[in-house]
Amino acid sequence: MAAAPHMPPRPDGIVTRFAPSPTGCLHIGHAYSALFAHRKASESGGRFILRLEDIDATRCRPEYAQGITEDLRWLGLTWEEPVRKQSEHMDDYRAALGRLEAAGLLYPCFCSRRDIQEEIARAPAAPHGPEGALYPGLCRGLSASERNDRIAAGNTYALRLDMTAALSRLAAPLFWEDIAQGRQAAHPEILGDVVLARKDTPASYHLCVTIDDHLQGVTCVTRGEDLFHASHLHRLLQHLLRLNVPVWHHHPLLLDDAGRRFAKRNHSVTLQHMREQGKTPEDIRAGMAHFAAVRLP
């Protein structure tokens, strides 16, 4: 909780969250993002939530989750308990998928990564979005019987959002508000037919983050500018699933002196390493101020 223990959160205070995936150690860029969210909540007398986005069973590890909470406590942050772990809430995501499926907005996609790459290579003019080439739609046009046969044959599949169908349900254009960049017309089509349930787990980042922000009462979604484009899609999912609509505040990414993003795999920039080196939370804040300063134009 952002407010001091003797001060209950204000009902008009904003609710923010920091939502790391426990796939590695936190680095100085994460610290910036967590402090950014925490400060926004505390300045308004609101609440700060920590959430662990751990649906990827192959990459997430309990020891990373443990390390994340240790790092954040060391930085001086406090948050509400219990911490929501996405892996414990798969029923919520399944229920949302069920609603989208019943509305005719999902289709099974049997493609492997390779199938998709080969199809894209065949059509060099294939549309691209902020994350690269869009899904070329190989499975969109399969008939019901083809789908059933493939499922019956045990072929694994992801569930994709039929973006054209979803957009056709809109009675009016959607908009969303970013505190830094102002009102945005929603353009979820830049991401194409996104995966909402992966082959290996019946959920995806986009689905879970949208459901969780609603269920946890988040009123201001803070995260790095690298995820700005994702908010176009999240706004659409909020509309389709009748979820609350927060405001967003995408913050600039902290870059190192060479202009590169900090990476989890670079141990020297992790909070754990810095702690072991005897650095203090004040040193980390000073370091962030340095990197924030050098990236200014």
Long-range contacts of residues 279-286, Cβ cutoff 8 Å, at least 24 apart: 281/74, 281/75, 281/76, 284/28, 284/31, 284/75, 285/35
Tokens of 28: 């100085």
Q: Which stretch binds ligand GLU (CB under 6 A): 14-22, 133-141, 147-155, 270-278?
A: 14-22
For 130, which DSSP code? T
**DSSP assignment of 212-236:** HHHHTT-SEEEEEGGGTTHHHHHHH
Quick check: 25 binds ligand GLU (CB under 6 A)? Answer: no
Report the nearest approach of ligand GLU to the CB of residue 205 (Å): 7
Q: d(Cα 232, Cα 284) in Å, to the nearest integer?
A: 33
| Among positions 214, 223, 235, 250, the unique one binding ligand GLU when judged by CB under 6 A | 223
Q: d(Cα 70, Cα 1) in Å, to the nearest integer?
A: 16
Quick check: 20 binds ligand GLU (CB under 6 A)? Answer: yes
Q: Which stretch binds ligand GLU (CB under 6 A): 18-26, 137-145, 193-201, 248-256?
A: 18-26
58, 65 in Cβ contact below 8 A?
A: no
Q: How many residues bind ligand GLU (CB under 6 A)?
A: 7
Q: d(Cα 70, Cα 268) in Å, to the nearest integer?
A: 17
Q: Which stretch binds ligand GLU (CB under 6 A): 16-24, 39-47, 181-189, 289-297?
A: 16-24
Report the nearest approach of ligand GLU to the CB of residue 235 (Å): 13
CB nearer to ligand GLU: pick between 101 and 177: 177
Report the nearest approach of ligand GLU to the CB of residue 237 (Å): 13
CB nearer to ligand GLU: pick between 223 and 235: 223
Closest by Cα among 195, 205, 207 to 53: 205
Long-range contacts of residues 113-120, Cβ cutoff 8 Å, at least 24 apart: none
Long-range contacts of residues 68-76, Cβ cutoff 8 Å, at least 24 apart: 68/20, 68/22, 68/25, 68/26, 70/272, 71/25, 71/26, 71/31, 71/271, 71/272, 71/275, 72/18, 72/26, 72/34, 74/271, 74/275, 74/281, 75/31, 75/34, 75/35, 75/271, 75/281, 75/284, 76/281
For 161, which DSSP code? E
CB nearer to ligand GLU: pick between 21 and 44: 21
Report the nearest approach of ligand GLU to the CB of residue 7 (Å): 26
| Among positions 2, 3, 15, 19, the unique one binding ligand GLU when judged by CB under 6 A | 19
Report the nearest approach of ligand GLU to the CB of residue 295 (Å): 19
One character per residue 44-73, x = contact with ligand GLU (rule: CB under 6 A): ---------x--------------------
Q: Which stretch binds ligand GLU (CB under 6 A): 17-25, 187-195, 253-261, 277-285?
A: 17-25
Q: Which stretch binds ligand GLU (CB under 6 A): 19-27, 139-147, 150-158, 159-167?
A: 19-27
CB nearer to ligand GLU: pick between 260 and 290: 260
Quick check: 209 binds ligand GLU (CB under 6 A)? Answer: yes
Q: Which residues bind ligand GLU (CB under 6 A)?
A: 19-21, 53, 209, 223, 227
